[in-house]
């Protein structure tokens, strides 16, 4: 049954959010009806209000997704794409929704190379040519169509009202807008959109996005049609024509999200469901956890040199396979043996237990033998067993930096996630090959890893993160900290993260995250260890045995949890 929200109630919600009432304190909070953990206090509060009005986790997720497009313009979006892994409480069925961007029809393998075959700097990361055909609006609509109970118009209108009235700029967002002032100002449409006063906003200023409000009101009233064939489509095509991009009216009209079978594997006593290709997330997460599963962790502590070493060696092997074997399944036959137990047993023999491996000596395996700051994540669930993990992205912060004139939103720079030249590292330092070459209409490989975990048949974890290539290791560390080290939820979120991705052959760890003794032991094992700034925004919900929904937003993000 569809329940209506009256417009007055929507306005009251917007006022409530603007006046205050948003809790961004980093604690675990538990709820009895529905919970949201996201990178924005305002967006989480929007989801909570949908629960209060009788909506389910899918309704809340749709409203949160559109709200993030307003209050987190650097990552939340309608000009990008994403993935969802969801469980329907009533049937217990888990499904994966792919609303990744596609390469425009006119895209070609060498479009970012000059006549000498060299990569032309910035062409795949900045401006109109870096944008893929956006999928977010179609994706959120497909989710709502299948599982939603409240009127679409009401869910989208909340975000439209937010854009219309404006939102308060948070501290880290003000810093980011200041850092990006010069590069974003190169695009006059973007400067007008994000810097209406002609200078970076201060924390606490209100940012009003009238053009975005207009676009969202249209999407609320007309559905995805407005975006893919209506007024917004015309605006996107005009933007492409003016700025030398490739996306045409036909590309937009033909865009379709795809329901896919999730990647499913067990780890300890848990059932893990991840995103299949064109995300590498589910398979690489599965490879890392399955490679590590047989090893007794009881003599390690979380973040001990032994644990970090073992984890990074598993990551080295898994990311080598990522570079070789994964791409859009409509264009490339992803080997089904990548999670085969015999294949993984063979790979495990290459996992050095004492000393560091050398990435130059590690190549992707041959699973064919066994055939049988940029992105934002949010987690939503309810006590009916509905679970929704969604990660959306523009690729880099603010995507292509190009805003669609008059439509109030930024376009993604997702084309850079293709292997634009074999062996050339993308924005995330990832290399790729034939499997992920650019082809007309193809989806680029991703690391986004929205993930659901069940314990027996019982919902247990909803999680995912931002962080490009580091998303998969962040999610794996959270699951290991939970299952092997039995850490409490807030502790899992606060643990310093570390990362290895085969190439470069380096363990990255968050600033201040390793003791000197641990660092030295890793160096003694032969690892290169490099400190970097904090990363990831992992927003997670844990459902306890009594059904209580406990949520934590990543302390690294200016996010929050909310619920009812």
Considering only residues 397 to 436 of the shown chain, the ones binding ligand GLY according to CB under 6 A are 414, 417
Our CB check for ligand GLY shows the closer of 44 and 374 to be: 374
The stretch near ligand GLY (CB under 6 A) out of 189-197, 257-265, 445-453, 484-492 is 445-453
Our CB check for ligand GLY shows the closer of 208 and 427 to be: 427
Instruction: Give the Cα separation of 151 and 85 in Å (integer).
Output: 22
Among 468, 536, 537, 563, binds ligand GLY (CB under 6 A): 468
Q: Taking the complex as a whole, how short is the minimal distance between the CB of residue 501 and ligand GLY, in angstroms? A: 12
In 525-564, DSSP assigns E strands to 529-532, 540-543, 549-552, 560-563
The residues, any chain, with a CB within 8 Å of residue 188's CB and separated by 6 or more, are none
Q: Does 124 bind ligand GLY (CB under 6 A)?
A: no
Q: Does 375 bind ligand GLY (CB under 6 A)?
A: yes
Q: Taking the complex as a whole, how short is the minimal distance between the CB of residue 447 and ligand GLY, in angstroms? A: 4
Instruction: Give the Cα separation of 522 and 527 in Å (integer).
Output: 6
Q: Does 446 bind ligand GLY (CB under 6 A)?
A: yes
With CA atoms as reference, report the closest residue to 314 among 354, 272, 278, 284: 284
**Considering Cα of 361, then 338, then 445, then 43, what sign does the dihedral take?**
negative
Host H or E run for residue 154: helix 152-165
Q: Does 98 bind ligand GLY (CB under 6 A)?
A: no
Considering only residues 480 to 499 of the shown chain, the ones binding ligand GLY according to CB under 6 A are none
Q: Taking the complex as a whole, how short is the minimal distance between the CB of residue 211 and ligand GLY, in angstroms? A: 25
Among 57, 156, 448, 454, binds ligand GLY (CB under 6 A): 448
Our CB check for ligand GLY shows the closer of 55 and 432 to be: 432
**Considering Cα of 168, then 172, then 173, then 175, what sign does the dihedral take?**
positive
Among 215, 395, 400, 518, binds ligand GLY (CB under 6 A): 395
Q: Does 447 bind ligand GLY (CB under 6 A)?
A: yes
* Burial class (CB within 10 angstroms; exposed 0-12, middle 13-18, buried 19+) of 423: exposed
Tokens 């987190």 identify what position? 72
Instruction: Give the Cα separation of 299 and 520 in Å (integer).
Output: 19
Host H or E run for residue 59: helix 57-71
Q: Taking the complex as a whole, how short is the minimal distance between the CB of residue 197 and ligand GLY, in angstroms? A: 30
- Structural tokens at position 365: 């395996």
The stretch near ligand GLY (CB under 6 A) out of 23-31, 47-55, 354-362, 441-449 is 441-449
Our CB check for ligand GLY shows the closer of 173 and 391 to be: 391
The stretch near ligand GLY (CB under 6 A) out of 138-146, 228-236, 287-295, 446-454 is 446-454
CB pairs under 8 A, 24+ apart, for 255-259?
A: 255/102, 255/133, 255/134, 255/135, 255/138, 255/228, 256/138, 257/97, 257/98, 257/99, 257/135, 257/138, 257/139, 257/142, 258/97, 258/98, 259/95, 259/96, 259/97, 259/98, 259/142
Counting residues that bind ligand GLY (by CB under 6 A) gives 9
Q: Taking the complex as a whole, how short is the minimal distance between the CB of residue 472 and ligand GLY, in angstroms? A: 9
Q: How many CB atoms lie within 10 A of CB 168?
A: 19
Catalytic residue among 157, 215, 375, 376: 375
With CA atoms as reference, report the closest residue to 377 among 45, 11, 4, 44: 44
Our CB check for ligand GLY shows the closer of 215 and 393 to be: 393
Among 124, 125, 215, 393, binds ligand GLY (CB under 6 A): 393
Is 375 annotated as catalytic? yes
Q: Does 324 bind ligand GLY (CB under 6 A)?
A: no
Residues labelled as active-site residues: 375
| Interface residues toward ligand GLY, by CB under 6 A | 375, 393, 395, 414, 417, 446-448, 468
């Amino acid at each position: 049954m569809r329940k209506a929200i009256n417009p007055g109630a929507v306005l009251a919600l917007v006022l409530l959010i603007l006046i205050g009432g948003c809790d961004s304190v980093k604690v675990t909070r538990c709820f009895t009806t529905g919970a949201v953990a996201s990178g924005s206090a305002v967006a989480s509060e929007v989801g909570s209000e949908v629960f209060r009005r009788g909506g389910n986790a899918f309704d809340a997720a749709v409203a949160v997704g559109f709200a993030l497009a307003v209050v987190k313009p650097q990552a939340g979006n309608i000009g990008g794409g994403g993935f969802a892994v969801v469980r329907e409480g009533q049937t217990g069925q888990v499904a994966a929704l792919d609303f990744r961007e596609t390469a425009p029809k006119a895209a070609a393998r060498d479009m970012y190379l000059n006549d000498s075959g060299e990569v032309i700097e910035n062409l795949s990361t900045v401006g109109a040519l870096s944008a893929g055909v956006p999928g977010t609006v179609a994706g959120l609509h497909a989710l709502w169509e299948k599982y939603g109970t409240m009127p679409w118009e009401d869910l989208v209108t909340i975000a439209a009202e937010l854009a219309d009235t404006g939102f308060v700029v948070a501290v880290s967002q003000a810093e980011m807008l200041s850092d990006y002032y010069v590069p974003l100002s190169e695009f006059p449409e973007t400067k007008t959109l994000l810097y209406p006063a002609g200078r970076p906003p201060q924390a606490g200023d209100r940012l009003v996005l009238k053009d975005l409000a207009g676009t969202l009101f249209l999407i609320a009233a007309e559905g995805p049609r407005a975006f893919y064939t209506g007024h917004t489509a015309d605006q996107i095509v005009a933007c492409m024509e003016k700025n030398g991009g490739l996306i045409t009216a036909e590309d937009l009209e033909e865009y379709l999200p795809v329901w896919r079978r999730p990647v499913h594997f067990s780890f300890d006593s848990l059932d893990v469901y991840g995103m299949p290709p064109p995300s590498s997330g589910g398979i690489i997460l599965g490879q890392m956890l399955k490679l590590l599963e047989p090893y007794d962790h009881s003599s390690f502590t979380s973040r001990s040199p032994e644990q970090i070493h073992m984890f990074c060696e598993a990551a080295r092997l898994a990311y080598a396979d990522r570079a070789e074997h994964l791409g859009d399944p409509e264009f490339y036959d992803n080997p089904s043996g990548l999670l085969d137990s015999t294949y993984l047993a063979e790979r495990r023999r290459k996992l050095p237990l004492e000393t560091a491996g050398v990435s130059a000596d590690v190549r992707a395996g041959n699973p064919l033998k066994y055939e049988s700051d940029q992105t934002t994540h949010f987690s939503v669930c309810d006590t009916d067993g509905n679970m929704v993990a969604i990660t959306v992205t523009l690729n880099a912060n603010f995507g292509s930096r190009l805003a669609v004139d008059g439509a109030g939103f930024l376009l993604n720079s997702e084309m850079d996630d293709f292997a634009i030249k074999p062996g050339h590292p993308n924005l995330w330092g990832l290399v790729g090959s034939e499997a992920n070459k650019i082809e007309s209409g193809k989806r680029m490989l991703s690391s986004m890893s929205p993930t659901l975990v069940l314990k027996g048949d019982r919902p247990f974890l909803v999680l995912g993160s931002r962080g490009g290539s580091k998303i998969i290791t962040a999610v794996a560390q959270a699951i290991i900290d939970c299952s092997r080290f039995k850490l409490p939820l807030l502790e899992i979120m606060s643990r310093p993260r570390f990362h290895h991705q085969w190439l470069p052959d380096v363990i990255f760890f968050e600033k201040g995250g390793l003791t000197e003794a641990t660092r030295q032991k890793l160096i003694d094992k032969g690892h290169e260890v490099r400190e970097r700034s904090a990363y990831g925004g992992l927003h997670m919900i844990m459902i306890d045995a009594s059904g209580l929904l406990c949520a934590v937003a990543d302390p690294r993000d200016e996010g929050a949890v909310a619920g009812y």
